[in-house]
Each structure stands twice: as C-alpha cells, then as structure tokens.
Amino acid sequence: MTLVLASSSPRRRDLLSILVAHFDIRSPEIDETPHHGELPPDYVRRIATLKASEHVSSESANLGADTTVVLEGQIIGKPSDMDEARWILGRLSGRTHTVYTAVALAKSTGVDNLLSTTKVTLTQLSQSAIDTYLLTDEPWDKAGAYGIQGYAGAFVERIEGSYSGVVGLPLSETRVLLNDSGIELKHG
C-alpha cells in the first residue's frame, strides 16, 4: 500500500520523512473556509479529513493534516497581505494562543483522525520587531502569520504541547495513526 501525503507543505513533508522512508505527495484542492459556528477543533478535523479523503483509493493510504491558530475562540488563518499579518502578530504579541492540528489517515475502508492541542505564548513584540519579521518570507503561508521553526521561534516564550504540531504535523499522533494502519515506520 502506498502512503500519500495530501499536502504541498514542505514542513509536513520533512516531518513525515522522520517517520516513513517512502511516500508520495499529492496536493489537495479543497475549500478551507470554516463553517459558521464551527468550533476550531472540529474545523481542523474536518479539513484534515477532507484533504486525506480527496484522492483515496484501494492502493493508497492518504495522510492529511490541518493547523489553525485560535485566540479568544477566533480562528486565525493565513494572512492575505502585509496589513493582515501585522494585525495578527499584534494580537498574538504578549499573549497565549492555542494551536490545533488535526491529522487524518484515509483508506478505502474509512478515515481515522487525531487532534493535537498546543498552547503557545509569544513574548511582547515591538512594532519594529513585527515589521522586520514581515520582511521575511516566513509569515505568508502559515496560520497565525508565523513559523515557529524559523526566526519566529525567537518570539516564543513558552510552549505547552507538541512542537511538531505547531509546525504542522504532530509526530506522536501521526505515528499512532500510521502504526495502527500497518504502515511501515522507520523505527517501528
């Protein structure tokens, strides 16, 4: 059975390669708009499941994941422009937010998913620090307008939960799903 990563994210590809030696990549084409009143954990589970299910076949197991940042119950997605990224980082500055990442494994027999929940506290950021960070390429394809694995890691004061989940693929949960489905892991 072929494992397919349903993602174009280089971060997810790199994280999955820690667990599995061989897999294919297929970018999903789905609408990631949250439904009205949808709770953030339900939202990421739904999106991860949609991604994993899009190209499922009897010869493949498809792995999908979705990550969102939540502050005060509000889903904070990827910034669309410089002003939105500046606003997002200003809201997250000096505060604790929650990062939800769901991972789903779809096979022709069904879909299983698991959820990672992580609390991240950012240090108080000056406007100058935010503006300088926005000159990098890091904020543009990431929920919350930051990448913990890059320079923004220096803004993280505290993390409670899964670092790899914040990056975009929670390794512990992914390992459980793959192992339970009989996917061969590098380290058993």
- Nearest CA among 182, 188, 186 for reference residue 21: 186
Burial 177-187 (b: 16+ CB within 10 A, else e): bbeebebeeee
Annotation marks residue 66 as catalytic:
yes
DSSP letter string, 4-37: EE----HHHHHHHHHH-S--EE-------PPPTT
For residue 62, give both structure tokens: 């498809």
CB 62 within 8 A of CB 54: yes
CA–CA separation, 11 and 135 (whole Å): 20
Q: Which residues pair with 113 in a beta bridge?
A: 104
**Gyration radius of the chain's alpha carbons:** 17
Single out the catalytic residue among 14, 24, 31, 66. 66
- List the catalytic residues: 66
